[in-house]
């Protein structure tokens, strides 16, 4: 409202009205925004922390709590005042001011993802991909920052295991290939004479053994791929658990004798037949038991079978080796996994294949171990369905 001079020397009042209905928020319209933000943060698989302009963390989602290993009420304000991390590539300690969050606040610029190894509150370590970006108000001033944490611990482990297995595979293929090359060269230099045939047979035997080693490695890789894609063909039939143990032991006896190990068998009486593909179960027993022989320097490797309460049969392979470190035990059946304390070379595929074969039979497999106390790998197989009773007239026909 304002006064204006009128034409007759007086003054008039002019009332001006502007409609701002759409610009004024309705009562309660803004209340849902924080709730929507909390809902989004809750379902994100990435850890998200928000800080004010002073770097004090004021909000963290559930994923951030999980990544930091905190089950108690989470008080994230102290995270960036403690030296709880180091750079994953160099191991250099990460000072409180070096975190991506603090740098984004100082520079006003986004900080790209960096690999950081953190000391979690539960005493374990994790590797995270950490980035941050500033938060600005309507005038462009930095009023806070948001930082993200993506747990890449298992991804890093998988990459490391892949690199190790590539080295092992290249080594394991190079050795028999060298034997093939040398054997072929020896055959070309073989002179005629009374011993030529015997020398040729010995060279041929070495070539055949080298070929078998290469085929075994290739078969392992193909078996694992087939299992993971669910394309493995199975031919189940009733098999006697004691017979399976005996045949598996026959394949290991020479290797155990060469190391001076006792090889013992134990099958509980009256075990029901198991429904399985015989060759595949022998492959499981062979993979597990051969690892046990390789890991054990003295003592024994024992193969046993016993009934389980649900009608299944459980097979156990025990050794008196050095045991498996606690950190490695959850990963013994991962593909390309080789224990940190393993003293022999291998592709890290044997136990992964064993797990896939057991699960394809409808069973399960697990390992129990402690450093210095040996290892027991157990797996179950379902009992074979009893043969249907024949009608009396059919039995006498």
The CATH number of residue 63's host domain is: 3.30.450.20
Shared domain check, 161 and 147: no
Shared domain check, 269 and 187: no
Shared domain check, 165 and 75: no
What does the pLDDT read at residue 13? 61
Shared domain check, 127 and 145: yes
Residue 22 lies in a domain: no
Shared domain check, 216 and 115: no
Shared domain check, 367 and 268: yes
> By residue range, what is the domain housing residue 209?
157-228
Residue 115 lies in a domain: yes
Residue 9 lies in a domain: no
* CA-closest candidate to residue 366, choices 323, 325, 314: 314
**Residues 216, 217, 219, 223: is their CA dihedral positive or negative?**
positive
What does the pLDDT read at residue 332? 87
Residue 170 lies in a domain: yes
> How far is CA 207 from each of CA 178, 181, 214, 221, rounded to the nearest angstrom?
10, 9, 11, 22
DSSP per position, 91-132 = --B--GGGSHHHHHHHHSS-EEEEEEEEE-TTS-EEEEEEEE
Shared domain check, 130 and 53: yes
Q: H-type helices in 259-370, by residue range?
A: 278-295, 350-360
- CATH number, residue 263: 3.30.565.10
**Residue where a domain stops, chosen among 228, 261, 279:** 228
Number of domains in the chain: 3
**Residue where a domain stops, chosen among 228, 245, 275:** 228
What does the pLDDT read at residue 56? 84
- For residue 369, give both structure tokens: 């171990």
What does the pLDDT read at residue 386? 74
Half-sphere exposure (Cβ direction) of 69: Cα atoms closer than 13 Å? 12
What does the pLDDT read at residue 319? 95
Q: What are the mean pLDDT values of the chain's consecutive 10-residue runs (397 residues total)?
A: 60 60 54 70 85 86 85 54 79 87 92 90 88 92 92 83 63 66 76 78 77 70 66 83 93 88 92 91 90 91 92 94 88 71 60 88 93 93 75 48
**Residue where a domain stops, chosen among 116, 151, 186:** 151
What does the pLDDT read at residue 191? 75
Q: Quick one: 150 exposed, middle or buried, by C-beta within 10 A (0-12, 13-18, 19+)?
A: middle
> How far is CA 110 from each of CA 15, 106, 278, rounded to the nearest angstrom?
50, 10, 59
Residue 139 lies in a domain: yes
How many CB atoms neighbour CB 95 within 10 A? 11
How many CB atoms neighbour CB 359 within 10 A? 14
Shared domain check, 299 and 191: no
Contacts of 391 (CB under 8 A, 6+ apart): none
* CA-closest candidate to residue 289, choices 261, 328, 331: 261
Contacts of 55 (CB under 8 A, 6+ apart): 80, 101, 102, 105, 145
Residue 184 lies in a domain: yes
Shared domain check, 329 and 245: yes
Rounded CA separation 46/61 (Å): 9
Shared domain check, 298 and 189: no
Rounded CA separation 294/229 (Å): 30
Q: What are phi and psi of 364, to 5 degrees?
A: -140, 160
Shared domain check, 176 and 139: no
What does the pLDDT read at residue 394? 46
Contacts of 233 (CB under 8 A, 6+ apart): none
Q: Strands 125-136 and 237-239, how do they pair?
A: unpaired
Residue 396 lies in a domain: no
What does the pLDDT read at residue 11? 65
Rounded CA separation 249/253 (Å): 6
Shared domain check, 204 and 74: no
Residue with tokens 């070929």: 211
């Amino acid at each position: 409202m304002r006064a204006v001079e009128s034409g007759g020397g007086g003054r008039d009042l002019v009332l001006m009205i502007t409609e701002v209905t759409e610009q004024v928020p309705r009562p309660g319209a803004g209340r849902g925004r924080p709730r929507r933000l909390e809902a989004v943060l809750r379902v994100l698989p990435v850890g998200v922390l928000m800080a004010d302009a002073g770097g004090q963390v004021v909000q963290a989602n559930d994923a951030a709590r999980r990544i930091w290993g905190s089950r108690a009420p989470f008080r994230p304000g102290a995270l960036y005042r403690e030296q709880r991390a180091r750079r994953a590539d160099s191991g250099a300690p990460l000072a409180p001011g070096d975190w991506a969050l603090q740098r984004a606040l100082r520079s006003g610029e986004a900080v790209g993802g960096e690999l950081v190894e953190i000391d979690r509150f539960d005493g374990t370590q994790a590797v995270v991909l950490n980035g941050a970006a500033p938060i600005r108000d309507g005038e462009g001033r930095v009023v806070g920052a948001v930082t993200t944490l993506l747990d890449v611990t298992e991804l890093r482990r998988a990459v490391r295991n892949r690199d190790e297995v590539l080295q092992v595979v290249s080594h394991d293929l190079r050795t028999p290939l060298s034997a093939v090359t040398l054997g072929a060269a020896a055959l070309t230099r073989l002179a005629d004479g009374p011993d030529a045939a015997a020398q040729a047979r010995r060279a041929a035997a070495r070539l055949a053994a080298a070929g078998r080693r290469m085929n075994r490695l290739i078969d392992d890789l193909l078996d694992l791929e087939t299992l993971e894609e669910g394309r493995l063909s199975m031919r189940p039939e009733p098999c006697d658990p004691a017979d399976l143990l005996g045949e598996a032991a026959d394949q290991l006896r020479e290797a155990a004798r060469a190391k001076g190990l006792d090889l013992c068998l134990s099958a509980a009486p009256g075990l029901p037949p198991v429904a399985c593909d015989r060759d595949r179960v022998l492959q499981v027993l062979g993979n597990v038991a051969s690892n046990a022989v390789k890991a054990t320097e003295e003592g024994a490797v024992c193969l046993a079978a016993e009934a389980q309460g649900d009608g299944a049969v459980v097979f156990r392979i025990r050794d008196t080796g050095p045991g498996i470190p606690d950190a490695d035990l959850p990963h013994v059946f991962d593909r390309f996994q080789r224990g940190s304390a393993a003293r022999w070379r291998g592709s890290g595929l044997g136990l992964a294949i064993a797990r896939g074969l057991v699960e394809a039979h409808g069973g399960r497999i697990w390992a129990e171990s402690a450093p210095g106390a040996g290892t027991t790998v157990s797996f179950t197989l379902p009992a074979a369905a009893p043969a249907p009773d024949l009608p009396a007239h059919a039995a006498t026909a």
